[in-house]
Structure 1
Amino acid sequence: MCRIDRLVARAKELGMDSLAITDHGVMYGVIEFYQAAREAGIKPIIGCEIYIAPNGRLSRNAGDKNNYHLILLAKNQAGYQNLIQLTTRAHLEGFYYRPRVDKELLEQYREGLVALSACLAGEISQLILARQHDEARQAALWYQRTFEDFGLEIMRHPITELETVNKRVIEIGKELGIPVVATNDTHYINREDASAHDLLLCIGTNSTVNDQKRLRMAGDTYFLRSPQEMAELFRDAPEALENTGRFADKCNLDLEFGRLHLPEIELPAGKTPDQFLADLCRQNLRRYYPDPTPEIEQRLEYELDVIRQTQFANYFLVVWDIISFVKKHNILFGVRGSAAASIVLHCLGITAVDPIEHGLVFERFLNIERKEMPDIDMDFQDDRRDEVINYVSQKYGQDHVAQIITFGTLGARAAIRDVGRALGMPYGDVDRVARLVPNAPNMNLARAMDENKELRDIYSEDDIVRNLVNSAKRVEGISRHASTHAAGVVISKESLTNYVPLQRGAKAESQEAVMTQFSMNDIARIGLLKMDFLGLANLTILGKARDIIRRNHGTDIDIYNLPMDDKKTFDLLSAGETAGVFQLEGAGMRRYIKELKPNTFSDISAMVALYRPGPMEHIPRFIDAKHGRKPIVYPHPALANILKETYGVIVYQDQVLFIVREFAGYSLGQADIFRKAMGKKIAEVMKKEKRNFIAGAKKLGYSSELAEEVFALIEPFAGYAFNKAHSVSYALIAYQTAYLKANYPAEYITAFLTIHAGEAEKVANAIAECRRLNITVRPPDINRSQLDFSIEKNGAEGPSIRFGLAGIKNVGTGAISPIIDERNANGEFKSVEDLCRRSDLQAVNRRVMESLIKAGALDTLEKRGTLL
């Protein structure tokens, strides 16, 4: 329960000059901890409390659930590398209830490490408690021989056995000449956090505070004690405290930040990455710009120069190589975020959006004045994302590629529910309070109290509710579980375990799936290439629809080269018929789209940007201005060129940058730094930026009054205006899905139903949409249906959609695929008996048969009532 920022702040407050992190079996927080401690002027000591398997890390017998603990601290870079190796192998080789190493691994990876005997769960302590004193002495000798620096720990907590162990540990230390070290088992920061920590133990073990046999800590002494408190606690053993300081002095790890470890692709002979990148772009320029203007050529050269200066050419080439594979294998893809603002990426065929046509600002993607790693976030068909990851693993080596961990934290509602359960409160009482927390992004309990009067009232009036909310506030935001990030993938130049510890992915995933123990932010901090590979269902629908259209019409649809002025598409949008259309299908969005009646692609992009909390309040003005119901008013004519595309409303971050450049003389790079600073809403920062903006405006001849007015106009939008490159990229997928629905409705909805077959509400909504479009949806039929939803041609009646057998609840692909194979090979089934005789009845079991009957799939063989 030690939040790193608060832990470091408390250590500084107490005057500590060094602090160690030793989480159980993992290294999750070490990078954040290291940097936070350094910034506070405290020496960070990186360690881990590892689990040792007594019978070897590969043993998996019933008795192997019990493990010994051992503290390892990195003295230097070699020790840090060995700590990474140990924690990685503990997870990938030794995991059995806990990530475990053994003494063989400790001997192999002992260099550069301090070892301490740990708490009561340490081997020596456990042997002492078992009265095996000779064995305890032998164990101490083994650790002394194995590690250059080994210490015997003593702690003081209200545990009966602890003093017995401490006494014998001190004796062993004197006998063998092993230094005794005074330590403190710290699980929370302040003494008053003990009760909140106890609630977390209950949440983690699914128990309540009233359970007598649950896991609990003895007493409330597991807080960060001050040096004075430790001196008083160990006044009878001052040499143990001195030894603690000596061991801390031995730990002097310097971690390197700011250096990139980018993977490399094979280059043509004699070419540098920058040269090869430039060659590719110049060769492809006329494919995307048949008659390039000087502006286009200058933009390309400018971007190439920035990429050269920032040394990111390898990154661009790695992405180009991945997209080349994706195109070759006909996998649909898209790019999110600011990357669409780059003409280099457009010329590489990575982005479909023309940054010149849409006025996208390159500095939003890569800013020479900020020199941060740019993000090229990619979407792939979600059913083929694994193919991309497998390709990358094969290309760069499996030990160079992993998915990235993410940590789920206790949100406001979850904190209320979990704490209520831990307190043993009735579900209904807890649910009533949880429902009063507004369901909004980044909601916390303090904000919920501000925004909801009913919550404030019951908090004031009801002591039990007050205790619930106060307790929930104390655990809110704490990491609750680790899982695999939905999109994050890391690729390194060298073996990943040179930089980051690894572990298995989440339980539901393949045993082969490996993920990092560092989060996305920490991966970036240590200079590794983090990439976003998101599986997007809408791309899968587009791919499936494209295949169905090819089969039914013999037409190959190139979704990247659709006519962008298609009347049917804009008619569909203007009518609000956007069910199943990416980004535009929600009830609120459909209402606004219908009012807007978009007739240009830029209208779709603007709506994608505006339909979010904050900007949403400007939608009515945007719509009224488009249709001339309200005049467009600019504080200054110079704003007209910047805002005319969006009818006088600031929609995009890019517009904020152009305004700042126009009125204050900033470069676009400086303007983006201004935008980011303003977006943080820090009062002192905003005052400083306002002074600079007004000073810049006055230098350009604008009056202070006008500068004030323009600043007031852009101030709120700096925080919530949308990145235009992202908006345009997602608007393109929205247009693609709308185009297929408008021009090939049956095929598109068939694809939609196939992809969402297991989601009852989406299936029901899609079938309702078919009724509206006069498309017949035919029931499942054992002799007519395919595995998935399919198109049936009906002459003049037009196509109908046949329900797929795998879409029936409790009927899986494993049971249906052999049935369809049998039907295709030997003809239709004549009766239920014929079906049973020709099927594998282990796969097509009673549950499957009942589901087929209830769904009507056997109606053509026998009456449903008879079968049931």
Structure 2
Amino acid sequence: MADYHVFEAAPEGTPPANFVHLHVHSDYSLLDSCAKLDDLVAKAKRLNMPALALTDHGNMFGALNFEKLCHVNGINPIVGEEFYVAYGSHLEKNDVPYSHKGEDGDRQAHYFHLILLCKNQKGYENLSWLSSIAYQEGLYYGKPRIDFELLEKYHEGLICCSACIAGELPQLLLAGRESEAEELALKYKNLFGPDHYYIELQDHGLEDQKTVNKMLIAMARKLDIPLVVTNDIHYIEKEDWEAQDCLRCIGFKKNMNEPHQTMGAEKHEWYFKTEQEMRQLFPDCPDAYENTVKIANMCNLTIKQYKTQELKECLPRFELPKEFQTHGDEYTKNQDDYMRHLVEEGLRKRYPKITPTIRQRAEYELGIIFKMGFSGYFLIVWEFINWSKSTWDNVNNCAKPYIPIGPGRGSGAGSLVAYSLGITDIDPFRFKLIFERFLNPERVSMPDFDVDMDFDYRQDIIQHTRDLYGDPQVGHIVTFGTLKPKNCIADVGRTLGIPLAEVNMLKSKVSENLKTKLKNCFDPPNEKFPDGGQLAEFRHDPRYEKLFDLALKLEGCKRNTGLHASGMVIGLTALPNWAPVFKDSKTGEVGVQYTMDIIEPCGLVKFDYLGLKTLSLIRYAEDIINKHKKSGEKKFICAEVSETDKKTFDLFKRGDSVAVFQFESPGMQKILRQFQPEKIEDLVALNALYRPGPLQFIPNYIDGKWKPETIHYPDPCLEPILKETYGVMVYQEQIMQVSQRIAGFSLGGADMLRRAMGKKKPEVMMSKKVEFEEGAIKQGFTKEHADEIFDIMVPFAGYGFNKSHAAAYSVLAYRTGWLKANCPAEFMAANLTNEITSTDGLPVYIAEARRMGLQVDPPDVNRSDSNFDVVDGHIVFGFRGIKGMGNSAANAIVKERTQNGPFKNFMDFLERMITVKEDIVDEETGQKKGEKLAINKKAVEVLIKCGGFDNLDQNRPTLIANLDPAWTYTEKKVSGGSDGQISLFENTGEKEFADYKFEVIPDSTKMEKLNMEKELIGCYVSGHPLDDYQKACEKATLNSQNITRESKAAKSQHAAAIESGAKPWQLKNTEKEYVAIGMITELRPIVTKKQTTMAFAKLQDYTGTIDLTFFPKTWEQLSKKIENDKVYAFRGRLDTSPDREEPSFIIEAIEDPEMLKNRAIQEIHIQLDDGFKEEQQIFSLKEFLFGNSGSCSVYFHINAGESSYTIKANTQLSAPGTNEFLEKVKSMSFVKDAWLF
């Protein structure tokens, strides 16, 4: 649940205000108001106003937070919305015929405005329905609209105001349609009632307002309709007008310095005014001010909220089998019976023998679940998982594909009931998992299963949920993008017309720390923000001062909506009965308008549907393996592989874990080599430890395995708990078990202690510590020893990882490792399919496949499938990875080839494919409205260029040159030669065509072919420009895969040196020199301000690109030697400038790669960890080097406090210059890095 601030009260002696603001926009009126909820409520409280309304444009996104915030500050919340009202029906797309412009000043208006305010819970429910229907049925030009007919249905409990100048009444009056305006006013008065419809007066200095206000007052008096004065609040203080104008310019993508629709911003009147300021506007209408208080007094809303124990009654219901409907209307008892039945069935499937321990655990868990009333939640999750794993759709009674579900995620894997139901596939007994970590009987909270599912089929599972419970009851959850420091600088800078390069420079100085605020970038560094002050030197720079002034005001404003990546809600009834819904503009999906942290008390329980690409990867691999099995052979299922496979653990021991789930980072590879895992439990621990917090304990863990004498237990009685992790507290569950053993806590109480430790709230920690001490003394421990153990536990409680989650993900990691070790081609083909549309991912995995000795072939019309495939041991590129090849074309080729055999030649391909048609379907009706070719001429050209016909009869240039005439020839041939003309001769049968004669063109060069592949596929496939330089590439010390890591390390060292007193200009570049090899692309010389020439370029290697910088002096020496599309070896250093976001390689010299590949490695450099000092470590390194002598000199790089040194080793120490030796050095626990030179 969200935390709400309590603001400072009005100064003592401030009289209560006799005025209430009823027309108020917060930043939930996206990019149209910079007034945040906190600031609105704080000012209302400061002015001693008894109530405040919120009427955001077209949504209720902020309504619930606003209502709670007002209540905790003693202010009466008036929840409302400024609706968009359609001209005519909300179902029709009509413009307003008598309005000359829209809100942005560029278009005719498409709607009117209308204010609705909630009196009570009924009014809130009707407001929710109106807001929801507007999004679901009335969207036009991106605005959700309602109409009068909807108001007739949903007006109860609502108060209506005629709105601003964009309201229908003012617009009619300005158009000279007074009689229509009067009719409309009476229509609203009759609908809402005499005290529930008000004509609104506003004065922001606009001429149209001055004109229409007189007419509105006269009409109100004539028709006996009450008046109300409002200010159209969009910002807090008068001086905020420019920030508001800037925000709107961001929304409309306008430059503030150019003419734009200002919404009267230059009048500076759209702010939160005091009562005195408001009363100056309409002194002749005192009743209009009194009516604001009258309305506020009529509004008495406390939005209905559900306690956790009540949520079980809000869960949706699905039909139980008849035999489990024995308790009549007592649905909960029926659910419990059905769940027990399913658990019993599951236990028999999971365990050959149900032991007393298993039975006791199952009964214990069921007892808690039944007592807390959560059977319904378990059954809902069980149902959609069971449906996913089934091959039959019981709802629609049709066959469906098996959809992979993850073995588990989060603490739910600790439940035996979940395991027996098939919700998880992790045996809690095997991994010693704790149920109370998932469902704590001492802390009432909803269970929360995070369900991983095949990424490609996630939408199918969501659709099944809709089919089962009803579409209106299922929805996503809204998220909000906000103006964070970096994008705030970018957006404001753009609206001010500041050059992009300068904006990027300022952005780059903002810390990556997610908690950083712009203020921290101007304030000096402190303990909480050690990297603060990055923008201090620019704060009052005349070029940027206005940017920062505006950015500070706009920072944190809501910018856009999105959908939660996994969260879904399922209502007992239609969602608007519980919370308003909206329609996402990008996907068209429906979601609730409240965020995940506040949705549960509304009566909506969250269910997590997480699309995981690793599950798609495993499915792809299974499909390829099974596709090539002989008839009758057992189907391969990855979940059934042996968990003790030697080849798999050998792979982990080698650190050969690129593309292995959770274990592919270079740091993890090093740890795998150091630790040498031998069982899945080892992977579980390493997975849990390789996180920012516990990373520091990995050396202790590794030492514990290889040096048992280093293991230390805080108390001997804790050995059974900590033995599996060599004395290190790795898991949160261990914290709970230690609390149980030392202080006698129940596991539920231990979980609450763990949570308190993790939150680090001093007052809570102190009370828990006393409780721990008292419990420990009862168990026979001294207070001092209890305190000692408690203090050891505290940091681990913050760092410790959820063992249930680590176990589930490590099982998944093992399966991907098994595939790589045992089915390498199929595994890499599956990885490539998973990245088939990613130009970043494809080259990485193609390079890895080649490193593994696998051949990757370009597309081939006779061998390729839609996805990557394995044919005769080769990985063959999939059609879907080709730009310009749609799924329908890919599927049509595969289908035709499967049905009628391989294509014999290019003309055979054209003749067969040119007759294949697909339906054209109307998007709105879903009806067929025609046919078109499944593959068009453009797609064939794309296939030619990327090598799809290389194994047939003609080369690429010949096919490209002949495509048009060959296509025309084929069209005539398949249509019988008819061109629509009347023949002079009798038709005696099919016209005979001579074979098409190709105009033969010389073949492309290898480089030309590679460039075509790069253009259409995003990477090189049939080869690589560097293939002739492979040996040289092995000697490169910098590449596209390690540059980011190397750059971060270099920048950290650079920053540490600056902190120690070094001057920036003394440490512009890193000490470490690198060699990079690749092909130059995008070479771009520029003239500097000093009229010298420098250059930028990209260096293409096997897996990606490196940004290069040639400073003027270097460029002067090298410019005549460098050109695009040529391979070079460069020597240089990394740019450590803090204002560079992307790593850049500063070139100092050039080498001929031909010479480099024949040059012997002469040096090995070893960078030692900062803590390298133990005598045993020094001895181990010395012995290692003596045992591996070679031809290379050895250099050590050592950090000693504030200084760093490079020391050449004694000439008696030497080393071999091989990659194999380098990997051994890197795997040593006290070695930070190593490289050859």
Say yes or no: TM over 0.5: yes
Classify the secondary structure of the residue corresponding to 2:898: helix
Alpha-carbon distance, 1:446 to partner: 4.6
Q: CA deviation at 1:5?
A: 3.6
How many aligned residue pairs are there?
860
Contact 1:337–1:376 (8 Å) recurs in 2: yes
Task: Indicate if the aligned counterparts of 1:436 and 1:452 stay in contact, CA closer than 8 A.
Answer: no
Matches for 1:661-740 after TM superposition, within 5 Å: 661-740=740-819
Note the alpha carbon deviations across 1:646-690, whole angstroms, 9 max, x for none: 222222222222233333333322332333333334444444444
Q: Which of residues 835, 858, 880 in structure 2 aligns to 1:806?
A: 880
Among 217, 220, 225, the alignment partner of 1:178 is 225
Please give the secondary structure, in 2, of the residue aligned with 1:760.
coil
**What letter is aligned with 2:117?**
L
Question: Secondary structure at 1:186's aligned position in 2?
Answer: coil
In the alignment, the residues of structure 1 paired with residue 726 and residue 715 of structure 2 have an alpha-carbon distance, to the nearest angstrom, of 14
Match of 2:112 among 62, 68, 73: 68
Q: Say whether residues 1:40 and 2:76 are aligned partners.
A: no
What is the aligned partner in structure 2 of residue 87 from structure 1? 131
**Which of 233, 250, 260 is matched with 1:213 structurally?**
260
Report how far residue 843 of structure 1 moved. Answer: 5.3
Q: Look up the equivalent residue of 1:586 and give its one-letter code.
A: S
8 Å Cα contact 1:65/1:96 also seen in 2: no
1:647 is matched with which residue: 726, 739, 746? 726
Aligned to 1:546: 622
Structure-1 residue corresponding to 2:889: 815
User: In the alignment, what sits opposite 2:612?
Assistant: 536
In 2: Cα distance, 1:688 partner to 1:11 partner:
37
Contact 2:368 2:441 in 1 (8 A): yes
Q: Distance in 2 between matches of 1:180 and 1:377?
A: 53
The separation in 1 between residues aligned to 2:316 and 2:871, in whole angstroms, is: 49
Q: How does 1:212-611 map to 2 (within 5 A)?
A: 212-218=259-265, 219-227=267-275, 229-231=277-279, 235-258=283-306, 259-260=310-311, 261-267=314-320, 268-270=324-326, 272-329=334-391, 330-334=402-406, 335-446=408-519, 450-452=529-531, 455-459=534-538, 462-465=541-544, 467-507=546-586, 509=587, 511=588, 513-553=589-629, 554-611=633-690
Partner-residue secondary structure (3-state), 1:210: coil
Instruction: Find the counterpart in structure 1 of residue 691 from structure 2.
Output: 612
Give aligned-pair identity as a percent. Answer: 42
Change (3 A) 1:178 1:454: closer
Secondary structure at 1:32's aligned position in 2? helix
Look up the SS of the partner of 1:490 in the other structure: strand
2:823 to 733, 736, 744: 744
Higher relative contact order (CA 8 A, sep 6+): 1
Whole-Å separation in 1 of the counterparts to 2:711 and 2:551: 48
CA distance in 2 between partners of 1:356 and 1:440 (Å): 39
Q: Paired residue for 2:839?
A: 760
> Residue 15 in 1 paired to residue 60 in 2?
no
Tell me the TM-score normalised to structure 2 length. 0.67
Per the normalisation by structure 1, the TM-score is 0.94
**52, 56, 60: which one aligns with 1:27:** 60
The alpha-carbon deviation at position 410 of structure 1 amounts to 2.6
| Residue from 197, 200, 220 that aligns with 1:153 | 200
Question: Aligned-residue CA RMSD in angstroms?
Answer: 2.5
Instruction: Give the distance between the partners of 2:540 and 2:703, measured in 1 at CA.
Output: 47
Report the AA paired with residue 845 of structure 2: A
Given the superposition, is the C-alpha separation of residues 429 and 52 from structure 1 closer, same or farther in structure 2, using an over 3 Å criterion? same
- For residues 379-417 of structure 1, the C-alpha deviation after alignment (integer angstroms, 9 at most, x for no partner) is 111111122112111111122212222222233322221
Bigger Cα displacement from structure 2, 703-712 vs 352-361: 703-712
Q: Distance in 1 between matches of 2:786 and 2:238?
A: 53
Q: 1:625 aligns with which of 704, 711, 721?
A: 704
Which residue, out of 182, 203, 210, partners 2:250?
Answer: 203
Q: Deviations over 1:672-728 (max 9, x none)?
A: 233333333444444444444444444544334333332332222333322222222
| Offset from partner CA, 1:769-826 (integer Å, 9 cap, x none) | 2222222222221222222211112xxxxx2212222222332222222233333344
User: Residues 475 and 617 of structure 1: is their aligned pair in 2 closer, same or farther, counting only changes over 3 Å?
Assistant: farther
Paired with 2:820 and 2:459, the residues of 1 have a C-alpha distance of 27
Aligned partner of 2:823: which letter?
Y
In 2, Cα distance between equivalents of 1:471 and 1:701: 63
Q: Return the offset for 1:39.
A: 2.5
Q: Is the 8 A contact 1:664 1:697 kept in 2?
A: yes
2:892–2:935 contact (8 Å) kept in structure 1: no
**Given that residues 265 and 317 in structure 1 are in contact (C-alpha distance below 8 angstroms), is that contact kept between their aligned partners in structure 2?**
no
Q: 1:558 to 1:804 in 2, by over 3 A?
A: closer
Identify if the C-alpha distance between structure 1 residues 217 and 594 changes in structure 2 by more than 3 Å, giving closer, same or farther: farther
Distance of aligned partners of 1:94 and 1:461 in 2 relative to their CA distance in 1, 3 Å threshold: closer
Contact 2:892 2:934 in 1 (8 A): no
Q: Counterpart of 2:944? A: 853
Cα deviation, 1:102-150, whole Å, max 9, x if unaligned, reads 1121122212211011111111122222333333222211111111210
**CA shift in 2, pair 1:14/1:343, >3 Å:** farther
Q: Displacement of 1:454 after TM fit?
A: 7.2
Q: How far 1:227 sits from its partner (Å)? A: 4.3
Give the whole-Å Cα distance in 2 for the aligned partners of 1:387 and 1:496: 20
Aligned twin of 2:1072: none
Match of 1:796 in 2: none
Deviations 1:235-288 (A, max 9, x none): 543322211111112222332212321012223121521222223223432332
2-side partners of 1:466 and 1:153: how far apart? 39
Q: Is the 8 A contact 1:352 1:560 kept in 2?
A: no
Could you say which structure has the larger radius of gyration? 2
Measure, in 1, the Cα distance between the counterparts of 2:863 and 2:140.
49
Deviations 1:284-316 (A, max 9, x none): 323323334444333222222222222111111
Q: In the TM superposition, what is the alpha-carbon distance from 1:61 to its structure 2 partner?
A: 4.3
Q: Deviations over 1:186-241 (max 9, x none)?
A: 22334444333332222211122212224444333333334454456555433222
Q: Distance in 2 between matches of 1:736 and 1:440?
A: 34
Is the contact between residue 194 and residue 220 of structure 1 (CA under 8 Å) also seen in structure 2? yes
* 2:416–2:428 CA contact under 8 A, matched in 1: yes
1:790–1:804 Cα contact (<8 Å) kept: yes
What letter corresponds to residue 377 of structure 2 in structure 1?
Y
SS at match of 2:534: helix
Q: CA deviation at 1:557?
A: 3.0
Q: Runs of 4+ in structure 1 displaced over 6 angstroms?
A: none
Deviation of 1:429 after TM superposition, in Å, equals 0.7
User: How far apart are the structure 2 equivalents of 1:189 and 1:669?
Assistant: 47
> Once the two structures are superposed, what CA deviation does each residue of 1:812-841 show, in whole Å capped at 9, x if it has no partner?
222222233333344433443443343349
* 1:77-156 → structure 2 map (5 Å cutoff): 77-97=121-141, 98-148=143-193, 149-156=196-203
